[in-house]
Amino acid sequence: MTGPPIRLLLADDHPVVRAGLRAVLETEPGLVVVAEAATAEDAVARAAAGDVDVVLMDLRFGGGMTGVAATAAITARPHAPRVLIVTTYDSDADTLPAIEAGATGYLLKDASPDELAVAVRTAAAGRTALAPAVADRLMNRLRTPDTALTRRETEVLGLVAAGLSNQAIGRRLHLTEGTVKSHLSRIYTKLRVDSRTAAVAAATDLGIIRR
């Protein structure tokens, strides 16, 4: 392989995960891990140093900033490194905010070493790298836009699944109770259901909200 190596930052709050990623990636020609970060805040600070090409970013950390917020902060800067999400979560509630925040790729932690290496190189080149399950779901959203839930609808349904009332959802999302009911009505129509329970079950089966 010719050209300079691809310099990587591993951002995950689990030392074992970082060690596993490092072990896999450092066996690949042209890839070098230059730093690790145990918090999203540290990842943002380290990515700003200017010597990182790709950040491998988890979505959830023990506390503080999330992976999505860190991705947005990193990609907002000029000449920012690419961000490749590497996580166990593949619902629309996870993938869409991450991609909207500027992630170049989205990979699941059960990916093979070869898939991981290919995704890193693809992201470094500025091309989109998506896990097959994520890519399939995004394509389905594009093919059937009338049935795809908006980000706000996904948020509302996620809170329904967590057991919150319409009033509590309104307080959480700074919406009126009437607006929450309007979102639920559209959700029922799109999912072809007629109850909160059925909506949660259908959305879970479709991978729209977390299992």
CA angle 130, 160, 63 (to 5 degrees): 60
CA-to-CA separations, 180 to 19, 91, 154, 164, 206, in angstroms, rounded: 44, 21, 12, 11, 22
pLDDT at 90: 79
β-strand partners of 201: none
The tens digit of pLDDT for each residue in 23-77 reads 999 999 999 999 999 999 999 999 999 999 999 999 999 878 999 999 999 999 9
Count of Cβ atoms closer than 10 Å to residue 43 Cβ: 30
pLDDT at 161: 93
Tell me the two tokens of residue 127. 């091309």
d(CA 40, CA 23): 21
Mean pLDDT of the chain: 90
pTM of the model: 0.73
The answer to whether 24 and 113 are in contact (CB under 8 A) is yes
> Is the predicted pLDDT of residue 15 greater than 60, yes or no?
yes
d(CA 64, CA 70): 10
Q: Which residue segments constitute the domains of the chain, with CATH numbers given?
A: 6-140 (3.40.50.2300), 151-205 (1.10.10.10)
> Is the predicted pLDDT of residue 211 greater than 70, yes or no?
no
* Residue 120, burial from CB neighbour count under 10 angstroms (0-12, 13-18, 19+): buried
Residue 64 or 2, more confident: 64
The tens digit of pLDDT for each residue in 115-158 reads 999 999 999 999 999 998 888 877 776 666 666 788 899 999 99
Percent pLDDT > 70 in the chain is: 95
pLDDT at 145: 63
> Is the predicted pLDDT of residue 1 greater than 80, yes or no?
no
pLDDT at 20: 94
Arithmetic mean of pLDDT, 79-103: 89
> Is the predicted pLDDT of residue 176 greater than 80, yes or no?
yes
Calculate the CA dihedral of residues 77, 173, 199, 61 and round it to 10 degrees.
50
